[in-house]
A and B are shown apart, each in its own frame.
Chain A
């Protein structure tokens, strides 16, 4: 029986990166179409706790590889360890969420497996040996149907396009394996975390983003976000200016989000930004410029100064409570 192997990701804080659960759903859909069995792999210094969490997500087996050398993620140590596992399992498909780690690791793993790869898949088609991957190109302006003509096929999953796999779907067999360790020419030096009390940008139900129009003043955006339990995002321009940390950037080159409600305040709506939020269920645009391209994708737009609209919006929302 063909094998689909999904690589789960442990965050630096030891928890499971939630996008892994969306990748597992994609893996499950793929396994159904290909008539394959779903397996999960997790690597780390001590991934036992995460493995426990993965047990009930509907896979046949969870492969746990623990080694001190895997404490800090590096493509050069993770790729050989996963390649050895994939080869031993005779995996036909290897996939992972399109996180920063997924995008760094999977092409290196694919190179080792002599596999062609599809990045950021948004859907699946075909069946049996003829699986078709759907993926965006040209900043989401084009969707392509792609076939990978190598024995092993590698892919990363755009998390917003697949639901998160729930727990309680039986108990997968947990198999520990000794990861193949290779020396790395790269060493980990440090990780500087951007801490936030707000929800994770890619998982939030509501996202409020600020652009150039904020002139760097995010106070109103943050206040509204806190009222709504929302995540804060930003356009590329404000990250470039150093007004907010880079990892808040929404767009083709930042994070792709698809919340129930996306509020764009003072964002003009360049193609590259739209690529990161166009799939949101409801989009609200607040901008002084009535011609701003953001209004072409917004369900509701207000042509006004965000510093006037946001406080009003807060007090109107307060009234509803």
Chain B
């Protein structure tokens, strides 16, 4: 299907194939509570979403494809429930989905191992992932994946313009294909500033929050998503041993801060800071 699309393109215009991830995570607004025995978090009443950084990855993929033509393939790993997140990405405009059906524990090595096999099968020009998932907060998978594939990496992709700028409203991709279409230029958020790197394709990019503002899924988009294909794969079928090497022994709530006080005026505040907290 994709090769026929390629043939229809005008001379000189490179189509891009972009693989994006859609991890299912707890809604970032939800209150996370640890089970009394420390074996996990309380699941009841939680809502689930696509990881916000991954959603930015989907958006960036869609913008690149809108500019250069091509295809966005979205992948998620998990039980049947992750199809919700795949459908969300499809409703945003992704072309098709790959679902790696796996239940049970999985660590970052396992995720990267599975994504490596999916990337080898799909042969994308670019894999775009969130820089971290908001549950584990590990910030590892993109880098592991780049090393496993032997590709370049550009982590924490950002942009120079404000997310409220006219530029952003024009929906231009911030990840720029070079003139020869063989590399991408990426602005990375680093300590004390912004670093720009150029990665030969294929490459791995991970998104920071300030890369773009993801679009909402439109009603026609949601309707259309229902008929888009989801291919099912399994770790065994991909030949990946996903037995976790990272063993989470115990979870605990962080120590609570003792409730503070409201002060009526600045003079009282300064007095407290000076005589009670002794910080000024």
Residues of chain A at the chain B interface (Cβ within 8 Å): 11-12, 17, 74-76, 79, 99-101, 103-108, 110-112, 116-120, 132, 135-150, 184-194, 206, 228, 236, 239-243, 245-247, 252-253, 260-261, 271-272, 278, 281-284, 290, 295-303, 309, 312-313, 316-317, 320
Contact = CB atoms under 8 A, between A and B. Distances in A.
B194 interface: yes
Contacts, number: 258
B260 A301 contact: yes
Interface residues of B, number: 84
Contact of A185 (B137, B203, B253, B254): B203
30 contacts: A75-B143, A76-B152, A76-B153, A100-B188, A100-B191, A103-B155, A108-B144, A110-B144, A111-B146, A116-B245, A119-B140, A132-B249, A136-B254, A137-B251, A138-B26, A138-B41, A138-B134, A139-B137, A142-B32, A142-B254, A146-B249, A185-B200, A186-B153, A186-B199, A187-B198, A191-B194, A241-B164, A247-B190, A283-B257, A300-B262
Interface in B139-195: 139-144, 146-148, 151-156, 158, 161-165, 185, 188-195
A301 B197 contact: no
B252 interface: yes
- Mostly, the B contact residues are mixed
Contacts of A141: 31-32, 253-254
Contacts of B112: 111
Contacts of A135: 137
B71 interface: no
Given A111-B144, A116-B107, A284-B269, A253 B152 contact: no
Contacts of A119: 137-140
B246 to A, nearest CB: 5
B270 A316 contact: yes
A42 B63 CA distance: 40
Given A110-B144, A185-B199, 5 more contacts: A101-B191, A111-B143, A144-B252, A252-B134, A299-B261
User: Ordered nearest first, which 7 A-B pairs have the shortest CB separation?
Assistant: A242-B162, A107-B143, A111-B147, A185-B152, A186-B152, A107-B140, A116-B245
B97 to A, nearest CB: 26
B196 interface: yes
Contacts of A112: 147
A193 B45 CA distance: 45
B254 to A, nearest CB: 5
